[in-house]
Amino acid sequence: MIRLIILIFIIFFQACSPTSGKEIKNFLIPLVQGNGIGPIAIHENLDSLDPEEIPFRENLVNFEWALLYGDHLKLTKDSHLAVDDNGFIYIAADTDGNPFYDNSVHRLITGKKLVLGKYDSQKNEIWTHELENPYVNLDVTGIAVDTKGNAYVTGSSTIKNYFEKSRIEKKQFLFVIKINSEGNLEWIREIGSSNDAYKVNPRTIAVDTLGNSYVVGTSNGPFEGDSVKPESGFITKFDTNGNQVWVKELSALEAKITPTSVAFDKRSGNIYLCGSANNNNIRNDKNPRIGRNDLLVFKYDENGNGQIFARLGFALGSVFGNTITTDPLGNVLVGAYTDVDFASSTIQDNSHNGLIIKYDSSGAQKWIRQFGPSTPLKSTFISEITTDRLGNVFTTGSTNGFIKFNDGPSEGNRDVFVTKHSSSGDVLKLWQWEFNKKL
């Protein structure tokens, strides 16, 4: 028997909603059960790896359960999900904190707190955790879990300046938090500069088999020198005890490089990150830019030695790398979106397609697949990509078109989709649905 669970994480931005009890509030986890996959991870219970025993039947993909929390007059967003090897589900989000009146400044103070929860596959709560400082905004940007069930959460912490009339938010730091499998806080690390002009914007996090964590993002802080400059991309490594091991800048002479995703390859021990760059050449790289915005993939070893692994672009076009993963054989898969029709080598008018690119371990492109309507004002965005043990590739994202036949209207203003491609790039299944009709 083969059982795959699709995990699709959808957030409703509610300022007012029903509440029950005093629980952590306002994130929604629909679980779609069938022979499928979701945006963050795949949990497989495989008694056999025979491909013939893995039929894909669209009518068997039904929502099994959903978990929705809402709190009156509070906004919860920036929610992220991870799944461990035992099928436990970890959720991290930020939500409005509890307001109080500070007599020293004669103002009502409200920060944003971090909430973290662990659930089993049947929606049962294992534990929850909260972190809050009323003078600080905590914004979650990523979560990862290691082989021992430890959860690692990253995001930004912004000290709010309530002591000036302008109430300007200043001093934005990067934080990483480790919570063990029992829900106990192991450590918190915060990286940044005391200079109010510097800001660190972490994007996401990955963890390796030893519990080292890798965070990517952007910063205008001093990687080299001490002057404020346009944002540069970065990747930094923390060991399992929270010590920062190294940080590397993704710099360009006149370009803005934006890392969006990071992945650890168990086979090689390498770390891969993807993103995009515009305007000019990458420092120390002789290859010129190709289009207005090029997809870039970087590869790093455990010591922080890095190189450009792959690049994809098109003259006058844009290709934005959004998510990255590796398969069991060490191939690298990137989910992207683009305004280029690579089949006809033309630029699409006000339209973006989803794009999947597969590279081998040396950086050679094995195949590229594109889907979504190409009509004006229709866009398809891949938000997450993952693979299973057989090397099948799964993506999820959103579209305002109809991806199945590259034509027709969407179900709603923005639909959710899930795709499955074989390891050789063949389309095996496409699902698409509107939230409101299914939930």
- Alpha-carbon distance of 80 to 247, in angstroms, equals 24
- Alpha-carbon distance of 137 to 210, in angstroms, equals 31
Distance separating the N- and C-terminal Cα atoms of the chain: 28
What are the extents of the domains in the chain? 72-379
Q: Which residue has the higher pLDDT, 291 or 56?
A: 291
Question: For the residues of 264-280, what is the DSSP string, one character each?
Answer: E-TTT--EEEEEEEESS
Express each pLDDT in 9-33 by its tens digit: 544 333 333 333 333 333 333 333 3
Residue 71 is predicted with a pLDDT of 64
Average pLDDT, the chain: 78
- Alpha-carbon distance of 61 to 56, in angstroms, equals 9
The mean per-residue pLDDT over the stretch 403-429 comes to 78
The mean per-residue pLDDT over the stretch 306-327 comes to 93
Burial of 243 per CB tally in 10 Å (0-12, 13-18, 19+): exposed
Give the bridge partners for 86, in sequence order: none
> 143-157, 200-214, 272-286, 380-394: which range is least confident on average?
272-286
Kindly give, in sequence order, each residue whose CB lies less than 8 Å from that of residue 42, ignoring residues fewer than 6 positions away.
Answer: 4, 5, 83, 386, 387, 388, 394
105: pLDDT confidence band, cut at 50, 70 and 90?
A: confident
Sheet holding 332-338, edge to edge: 319-326, 332-338, 353-359, 365-371
State yes or no: pLDDT of 155 exceeds 80. yes
Residue 427 is predicted with a pLDDT of 92
Express each pLDDT in 368-394 by its tens digit: 999 988 888 889 999 999 999 999 999
* Cα angle for residues 243, 249, 255 (degrees, 5° grid): 155
Residue 32 is predicted with a pLDDT of 38
38: pLDDT confidence band, cut at 50, 70 and 90?
A: very low
Kindly give, in sequence order, each residue whose CB lies less than 8 Å from that of residue 339, ignoring residues fewer than 6 positions away.
Answer: 317, 318, 347, 348, 350, 351, 352, 353
Q: Nearest to residue 385, comparing CAs of 397, 403, 373, 369?
A: 397
50: pLDDT confidence band, cut at 50, 70 and 90?
A: very low
327: pLDDT confidence band, cut at 50, 70 and 90?
A: very high
Q: Which residue has the higher pLDDT, 63 or 130?
A: 130
State yes or no: pLDDT of 434 exceeds 60. yes
Query: CB–CB of 375/409 below 8 Å?
Result: no
151: pLDDT confidence band, cut at 50, 70 and 90?
A: very high
Residue 97 is predicted with a pLDDT of 75
Residue 213 is predicted with a pLDDT of 98
Q: Which residue has the higher pLDDT, 284 or 182?
A: 182
Q: Nearest to residue 283, comparing CAs of 303, 304, 256?
A: 256
State yes or no: pLDDT of 118 exceeds 50. yes
Q: Nearest to residue 159, comparing CAs of 143, 175, 181?
A: 175
Output the furthest CA–CA distance in the chain (Å, rounded). Answer: 70
* Cα angle for residues 425, 429, 433 (degrees, 5° grid): 130
The mean per-residue pLDDT over the stretch 93-101 comes to 78
Show the DSSP H helices in 87-223 as ranges.
none
Residue 409 is predicted with a pLDDT of 56
Top-ranked range on mean pLDDT: pick from 68-72, 195-199, 226-230, 321-325: 321-325
> 3-7, 89-93, 155-159, 188-192: which range is least confident on average?
3-7
Q: Just give the CATH number of 72-379.
A: 2.120.10
Express each pLDDT in 279-295 by its tens digit: 655 554 555 567 788 99
Tokens 């952007």, residue located: 218
Query: CB–CB of 93/29 below 8 Å?
Result: no
State yes or no: pLDDT of 352 exceeds 80. yes
244: pLDDT confidence band, cut at 50, 70 and 90?
A: very high
